[in-house]
Amino acid sequence: MPNWNRTQLGDQPVLGLSIDYPIALDKSMKTPFDAEIIRKDFPAISLHNLAYFDNAATAHKPQVVIDTIRSFYTTENANVHRAVHHLSQQATFKYEESRKIVADFINAANEREIIFTRGTTEGINLVAFSYGSLLEAGDEILISTMEHHSNIVPWQMLCERKNCVLKVIPINPQGEIIEEKFEELLNEKTRLVAITHISNTLGTINPVKRLVEKAHKTGAKVLIDGAQSAQHLCIDVRDLDCDFFVFSGHKAFGPTGIGVLYAKEAILEKMPPYQTGGEMIESVSFSKTTFNSLPFKFEAGTPHIAGAIGLASALQYISQFDRTQIAEYEKQLLYHAERKLSEIENIRFFGQSKNKASILSFNIKNVHPYDLGVLLDKQGVAVRTGHHCTEPLMDFFGIPGTVRASFAFYNTFEEIEKMEFALKKSLRLLL
Ligand SMILES: *Cc1c(COP(=O)(O)O)cnc(C)c1O
């Protein structure tokens, strides 16, 4: 029996959550999800007596991911796409299988649309450089107030290079995109809308499908920053109809140094290479070089082979569960934290969108977020403090930073109560 049922948790909406869930699960043949059980899959969680609430920065890795990487280096280890020897062929097979697993995970039409990158940041830089080279002076790019620096600076640099214009979609005080303003900003000069799926600071889930539809009406392409959504939502890039989707392995329980750029094949075909060198070429002579086919055109040099294989195992790990059930559980964690913390005097939450992921940002009057972060850590609670790489968003709220607790499916209600207790104790020391 799960420890998170309606009767314990009060009257918040509990979409689709029912106590007899194993019956529902029989239909989808998924592993029953129970936070107490899956915690045991994450060795770093068991090792520390720490409520780890910094999942929006990076998530812990299940043992299967660690074993997969270790096994690759221990028993296989060869370069890909190069040699005839069997180890290389095996590495190539696994690397390309991983690409298929990623393609399935986000429902891409085929694996040529999956480019392995170092992470979200590199994915956005790739698009800004390569798709950006197709833009002309006066073309417009739209981003929003709540973007991560990774989804701001590459566009600023592109606008400087190409004399394009960067425009910002405003948000309301609840931390939601103002859609009427978005529509006003869209016009025939808009070539790209680059927007986060879930705000890493506020938890807002943006209505990206609707935004894509609106952008496409004026002929603009859309890039979705999925750094916070790939691990929390079921992603279907064909249903969203986005042109680009980027995410990082390390936030989705996979290794660091690996990420994914999805793009529609027809767009990738038109884009020039981003980096050049080995692997991305078809033939090289000193007079002319022709480029390799997709996706290799965008993967110059030896890729992060073990990283890609590790990422695929992380995605398979989370796919064994009913993901909507995980999303429900995470929502319950968020509600529980909101309820518990709202008892604290002079607390202010940032991000009050109706549609939210399990990220809770807050400040307490007259207390610096950093001081709270340090005191919480001393009591075994890991949160993030600061601007969370969203300085323009901090300016919007007129604050230097927040305390951010971001939850994953291995967190528990007890851990949230530990945070509440630790927060109250810290405040007695500070105020
Ligand atoms: C973390 C994050 C990024 C950057 O991801 P990296 O893994 O550091 O490249 C970009 N956007 C959002 C919304 C993020 O949360």
- pLDDT of 403 higher than 50: yes
Q: What is the structure's pLDDT at 28?
A: 56
- What is the pLDDT of the chain when averaged over all its residues? 93
Q: Which residues pair with 199 in a beta bridge?
A: none
Find the residues whose C-beta lies inside 6 A of ligand 1: 56, 119-121, 148, 150-151, 196, 200, 225, 227-228, 248
pLDDT in tens, 181-221: 999 999 999 999 999 999 999 999 999 999 999 999 999 99
pLDDT in tens, 351-372: 999 999 999 999 999 999 999 9
| Ligand 1 centre distance from Cα of residue 227 (Å) | 5
Single-letter amino acid code for the residue at 133: S
| Ligand 1 centre distance from Cα of residue 202 (Å) | 14
Closest residue by CA, ligand 1 atom 8: 121
**Annotated catalytic residue 242:** no
Q: What percent of the chain has pLDDT over 90?
A: 89
Mean pLDDT confidence for 116-139:
98
Q: What is the structure's pLDDT at 250?
A: 98
Q: What is the structure's pLDDT at 84?
A: 86
Tell me how far apart the alpha carbons of residues 383 and 402 are, in angstroms, rounded to a whole number.
10
Tell me how far apart the alpha carbons of residues 57 and 101 are, in angstroms, rounded to a whole number.
24
Q: What is the structure's pLDDT at 165?
A: 98
pLDDT in tens, 414-423: 999 999 999 9
- pLDDT of 70 higher than 50: yes
- pLDDT of 24 higher than 50: no
| Nearest CA-CA partner of 202 in 144, 246, 253, 128 | 144
Q: What is the structure's pLDDT at 13?
A: 35
pTM of the model: 0.93
Contact 185, 201 (CB under 8 A): no
pLDDT in tens, 301-320: 999 999 999 999 999 999 99
